[in-house]
Each structure stands twice: as structure tokens, then as C-alpha cells.
Amino acid sequence: MQPVVIVLASVLVASGAAAGVSVAMRPPDAPSLEPRVVELQQELGKLRGELQALQQDLAAARAAVAAAPVSAADASGRRSAAVTDEQVQAAVAAWFARRDGAPAGGAGVASATGDAAAATFDLERDFGALVGTNFWNAGEAWKKAFAAGRMDAVIAKFEELAAAAPNDPKAQMDLASAYMAYLQMDSSRWQLSGKADQVYDRVLALDDHHWEARFSKAVSYTFYPDFLGKKKDAIAHFQTLVQQQETMPVEASQAQTYLYLGNLLEARDPEQARQMWARGAQRHPDNQDLKKRLAGQ
């Protein structure tokens, strides 16, 4: 696969993961994110179209180059003109800048607080306010670090703590939360989605029943381009979650498992999808999103 295609696929994954993990981490009483997820899926659909068109263009270009006679000098020139990883990343940064209205290479939400005073962030003094939190339940603290341009230092600190406690799921999830908070505030940091996914794997190796890690991983897989074949992995993780969480005390956030799994099943088996939503509604009778799906909305 060409570097540009790989990068665009990564952009799709990262954009979806940022929103998906936000759903996983939001407080139970927060407004529903289902409309935002639908909006994001529409945007991702457009990106998938661009990706498909790019793949076709690359195939046509390769065919044209292969068919044309090439001298030794031309061959050398073409090799030197090949797209480098740095150029690809710069192009992606420019794409995000055009989309978000930010300077190329800069943040998607450039002054998250919009207040110069709020940009004061001392790593030693303020880092503790981030430990054990995520973007949804401590947004102002994360925005403060971001506005001060200190998120790289924050990430490095969380990586240091996670490395010092490799068998502590909490330390690992703190790191994943830091990755996703940064990505939530600056969508051009698309590489962080893959790093967070690796952390979820480490947590699940330590605790197979860690709900947040498995749910976050499953949601991120729903946004992978179809040609990567990750939808079946997402379904498998959600099915595991259904089995596990039905042996646990009921929590409001668990309703999202039935919602996402039903949505994934709908295209291939509408009746099975409806059964999954109904199963969730029986366990979570007050969940409005499940009620809407059962009503055909």
C-alpha cells in the first residue's frame, strides 16, 4: 500500500477513534453523542470516497509509468522525486489545517481556552489534576495544558509513569486517556490513535474484563476503512463485552455496547440487530438511544 493511502487510512481511524473514545469516557448524565457520531460517520464516508479515488489514481499512475520508456537519467530523477514520509505528513497536516482553520502543523483547536491567563501550566504543579481523569470529566485541566503548549511534556510524563508500572492497568489507562485527550484537541495528531490501541491491548492482557479498554478498542475499530476488515473484530469485542457486563452490576455507560453492536449487525441481519437493542433496553430501560433504534429512528 502506498504511503499516502496508509496515511489517509490512519486519518480515518484517528478521527473516528477520537469521537468513539469520547463516547466511552463521557459521564453518564452527559448529552447523547449519537448525533455527533452520525455526523462524523458521514464525514468519514466522504473521506473513504477520497481514499478510493486516490487508490484509483495511484493505480493509473503506476500503470502509466510502467508503460512509458524510461532512460537511466529519467529513472534517477523519478526516484529522487518520490514522495517521502515527511512530505506525506506535511500534506496531511495541511489537510487538517484547511478543514479546521488552523495553521498547518498546528492544533485543530488552537487556543482551547481562548484565555492567555489559562495558558499557564506548570508540569510539576498541575500534572496531578490530569492523573486519573480523561478529556470528558476534566476537560478544562486538559485544555489548560494544551493551550500552554505543554501536551508533549504531559504525554512524556504519562509514558514515563506507564513504563515504571507496566502491570498497573490504571497507569496504562491514564496514558491512553492522555493520547486520546491530545487527539481530541488536535486531530492532526492521528498517530496517537494507534498508540492508544496498543495501550488497550496491554491493559486487556492484564485484565481481560477491563470494560473501558475493550469498549474503547471496539469503538475505534468501527471507524476503520472497510478494506482493513476490522468490523468483524469490533463485533467480536462488543459480543465479549455483552457477555461480561451482564455478569456485572448495571452501569449507564454499558448501554452503549448494545447500541454499537446493534448498529454493526443491522446491515447484515436487521432482526438480530433489533434483538440486541431490545436486549439492551431491557437492561437499560431509560436509555433514549436504544428506544429510538427500537422505534426505527
C-alpha 289/C-alpha 240 separation (Å) is 21
pLDDT along the chain (297 residues), means of 10: 52 58 55 54 62 62 61 48 50 50 44 49 94 92 95 98 97 96 89 93 97 94 83 96 96 95 94 96 96 91
Query: What cell numbers appear for 177 in the block?
Result: 486517556
C-alpha 11/C-alpha 193 separation (Å) is 9
> Which pLDDT does position 273 carry in this prediction?
96
C-alpha 213/C-alpha 197 separation (Å) is 9
Of the candidates 241, 274, 236, the one whose C-alpha atom is nearest the C-alpha of residue 256 is 241
Cβ(7)–Cβ(89) below 8 Å: yes
DSSP, res 126:
H
| Cβ-based neighbour number of residue 172 at 10 Å | 28
283: three-class secondary structure by DSSP: helix
CA angle 244, 215, 3 (to 5 degrees): 140
C-alpha 247/C-alpha 41 separation (Å) is 32
> Which pLDDT does position 22 carry in this prediction?
57
Q: Is 78 exposed, middle or buried (0-12, 13-18, 19+ CB in 10 A)?
A: exposed
Q: Which amino acid is at 173?
A: M
pTM flag (> 0.85): no
